[in-house]
Amino acid sequence: MFAKQKTPYDVIFQAYFENLRKFSDRKKILTKLEKLFVACNENNFILSENSILELQKLLNFSGFTFSDSLVNNNGCCNKCGQKLKKLELIEDEFENLKKQFFEEVIIGKNIFNKTNPAELSEFQEFLKSTKGYNVVIDGLNVAYIAGTKQSPEVYSTLLAKVVSHFVEENKKVIVLGRKHMKSWPQKQWRFISSNALVFLTQNISLDDPYLLYCALHCGKDAILVSRDLMRSHLFALKDPKNKIRFTRWLEQRQFQVTHVRNDGKVLFKNPRPYTRIVQHDNNNWHIPFIVAPEENEEPDKIPEKWLCMQKS
Ligand SMILES: [Zn+2]
């Protein structure tokens, strides 16, 4: 199913675990379980809470000790104390992703109808001037963090403060936005455009692909500042491996502005210092799982849960 880019349903995992309970040979159970975990790791697949409950029933027979766990801000499991791994793209994987993203998402026929060819060549010309830049800001997204019913004065002030935050850290900043931003109050707009390299698309263009590609173009260590998740662009990538690489890259390089204080201090939700993926180290397996939100619960407020397992 992974090879055919299909998402296996919960019941498939549950049936697999249920079936393994029929084996009396613990070693065989272990081998088959680990085979599944490796497949989840390689395909970036996260099990549901229901599947984990079924897995726990099996683990009672399998010689694993296990418990639910949370991971702290430093990326350590709060049950066994182990630091979880961060899986970064290697240079070749990154270069391949960048190339395919351009061909399939920017040029690809899904978006072609919405991409203006003149704008695209203007963008390619712009990219030539971005050498050495390492922060790419989604201009309007940052401007709208206090909502979309504010004045241009508020939008431009917020964006100027975020630009200023990075400039003070000696970063070289790019802002992508839309043409109408030029009519913002001149004082703030002058600050933004003199402290950042700016590229503005037509007001109706689909600008996410440009933003993502610009960040990829700036290199493996550049960061992208936006609160949008932008996962929808995954679908335009053909190679399943590139979908996984894209998700992994975005998870590690995306900073979300949560608040800008009146004194100009900018608060961020930083990327996790580890990869949320089934992982193995020494005798331990750590399995992240998805907990369904309670009614009225906001999905991003749910603590991220893991199953911490040790071979005994
Ligand atoms: Zn642990």
pLDDT of 117 over the 90 cut: no
Give distance in angstroms: CA of 60 to centre of ligand 1.
17
- Which whole number is the average pLDDT over 133-161? 95
Give distance in angstroms: CA of 275 to centre of ligand 1.
14
- Which whole number is the average pLDDT over 243-272? 93
Give distance in angstroms: CA of 212 to centre of ligand 1.
34
pLDDT of 187 over the 80 cut: yes
What per-residue confidence (pLDDT) applies to 301? 72
What per-residue confidence (pLDDT) applies to 157? 96
CATH 2.20.25.240 corresponds to the domain 10-86+275-311: no
pLDDT of 111 over the 60 cut: no
The amino acid at residue 165 is: H
What is d(CA 176, CA 200) in angstroms, rounded to the nearest whole number? 6
The amino acid at residue 178 is: R
Give distance in angstroms: CA of 150 to centre of ligand 1.
45
What is d(CA 283, CA 280) in angstroms, rounded to the nearest whole number? 8
Provide the residue ranges of all domains of the chain, joining segments of one domain with +: 10-86+275-311, 91-269
Give distance in angstroms: CA of 284 to centre of ligand 1.
7
Residue bearing the bigger pLDDT, 301 or 161: 161
What per-residue confidence (pLDDT) applies to 115? 66
- Which whole number is the average pLDDT over 65-90? 94
Count of C-beta atoms within a 10 Å radius of residue 27: 10
Give distance in angstroms: CA of 6 to centre of ligand 1.
30
What per-residue confidence (pLDDT) applies to 184? 96
Give distance in angstroms: CA of 71 to centre of ligand 1.
8
Give distance in angstroms: CA of 66 to centre of ligand 1.
9
What per-residue confidence (pLDDT) applies to 303? 80
Give distance in angstroms: CA of 82 to centre of ligand 1.
6
Structure tokens that stand for 308 in this block: 């911490």
> Among 66-75, 206-215, 226-235, which is the least confidently predicted range?
226-235
91-269: CATH topology is Rossmann fold (3.40.50)
Give the number of C-alpha atoms closer than 13 A to the C-alpha of residue 64, restricted to the C-beta side.
23
Give distance in angstroms: CA of 310 to centre of ligand 1.
8
What is d(CA 227, CA 246) in angstroms, rounded to the nearest whole number? 17
> Among 84-98, 140-154, 229-243, which is the least confidently predicted range?
229-243
pLDDT band at 298 (very low <50, low <70, confident <90, very high): confident
What per-residue confidence (pLDDT) applies to 207? 77
Give distance in angstroms: CA of 11 to centre of ligand 1.
26
Integer-rounded Cα Rg, in Å, for the chain is 22
Give distance in angstroms: CA of 312 to centre of ligand 1.
14
pLDDT, tens digit (0-9, with 9 covering 90-100), for 260-291: 998 989 999 999 999 999 999 988 999 999 98
- Which whole number is the average pLDDT over 235-243? 88
Exposed, middle or buried, 142 (CB in 10 Å: 0-12/13-18/19+)? buried
pLDDT of 246 over the 80 cut: yes
Which of 289, 271, 249, 306 minimizes the C-alpha distance to 82? 306
What is d(CA 277, CA 286) in angstroms, rounded to the nearest whole number? 8
Instruction: Quote the mean pLDDT of the chain.
Output: 90
Would you say the CATH fold of 91-269 matches that of 10-86+275-311?
Answer: no
What per-residue confidence (pLDDT) applies to 109? 59
Task: Supply the DSSP string of 67-99, one letter for each residue.
Answer: EEEEB-TTSBBTTT-PBPP--PPPHHHHHHHHH
What is d(CA 189, CA 194) in angstroms, rounded to the nearest whole number? 8
The amino acid at residue 7 is: T
Give distance in angstroms: CA of 281 to centre of ligand 1.
10
Give distance in angstroms: CA of 309 to centre of ligand 1.
7
What per-residue confidence (pLDDT) applies to 113? 52
Give distance in angstroms: CA of 292 to centre of ligand 1.
22
pLDDT of 110 over the 70 cut: no
What's the residue count for the chain? 312
Give distance in angstroms: CA of 278 to centre of ligand 1.
12
What per-residue confidence (pLDDT) applies to 116? 77
Give distance in angstroms: CA of 84 to centre of ligand 1.
8
